[in-house]
Amino acid sequence: MSRIFARRFGFAAVAAASLVAGRMALAADKAARSPSASTALPSSSLRLTSAALASQPEPTQQTTTVRVVESDESWEIDGPVFLRSADPEEPGELVVKNIFGWEHHREGADNQRDQYEYELEIEYGLVEDHELIFEVPFQVGDARVEGNGDLTIGWHWRLFDEVGSHPAVALRNFVRLPTGVDSNGVDYELRGLITKTITPGCTRLHLNPFAKSVNGDNEEEARHFRWGAAVGFDHHLRDDLLLIADYIYSNGEEEHTRDNHEAELGIDWELDERQELGIAATVGLDGDTNEAAFGARISYMLHFGG
């Protein structure tokens, strides 16, 4: 009896164990077939991974400003220097210049004088390659001087753009009208502008030959035909700061006087898109009374349109 009971009990135990093992194998197989089984992580692991990612420093983004310069880039010389480039103002751009000047003249050890001037100048880009210019100078401190307030009308015409080894070439025509104090006669000036790039977007050389016909008598013993030339360069110290230097040669303004030699140094400083400041200094290189010994000019310029 006991043997029969033992056999039946052993058989039941083996059957129960086999049933449990089979169900466990079936559950494992289902888990292995589930698509989320391989990627599922315990919640504690997820919290740990999120905390680790949050503690990582954010990558820093470094930006570098690089000035891209085109080989045919052009710009104007706007400041109160004699030297000009062949490039006119852009079509539709209006520039209003307020120019204040001072010159010191030496006419002997005991006779030295200073001269002050204010000039209003307006430049307007008419169409491509053409610019109109209006100038009205006023001598300050001696308002009744002949010709004070005469209007000068100018036209800038760029004939050729700079291409390869060929420089840009332009002409400037000026006509002085006798609109000022006790003024008479009409003067005409023709100036050539030749510009050649040395370093694209940075440095250029300029040659400005000129000839002038003087037909009024605002100046005593005025020489009726004047000519000369300016040669110089401009260089971008920064994107908003332009350095200009030139040498000017001209024959004497009065009859029976010798030729004149001057040097200029100036800067054009772009304060923002609409405002610009120009500063220039002039030195006479001859050391006599034919010209100003030295002088300075400052201009405040406003740009509109363009």
Q: What is the pLDDT of residues 96-118, one digit of tens each?
A: 999 999 999 887 656 678 889 99
Q: Which of 3-12, 33-42, 126-135, 220-229 has the highest mean pLDDT?
A: 126-135
Q: Where do the domains of the chain lie?
A: 93-305
263 or 43: which carries more pLDDT confidence? Answer: 263
How much is the pLDDT for 5?
A: 40
Does 35 score more than 80 pLDDT? no
How much is the pLDDT for 145?
A: 84
Does 45 score more than 50 pLDDT? no
How much is the pLDDT for 182?
A: 87
How much is the pLDDT for 256?
A: 84
Q: Lowest-pLDDT range, 12-21, 69-78, 235-244, 255-264?
A: 12-21
Query: pLDDT-based confidence at 254, cuts 50/70/90?
Result: confident
Model confidence, pTM: 0.74
pLDDT tens for 189-214 read 999 999 999 999 999 999 999 999 99
The CATH topology of domain 93-305 is Porin (2.40.160)
Quote the mean pLDDT of the chain: 81
Task: Quote the percentage of the chain above a pLDDT of 90.
Answer: 59
pLDDT tens for 156-180 read 999 999 999 999 999 999 999 999 8
Cα–Cα dist 48/160, whole Å: 71
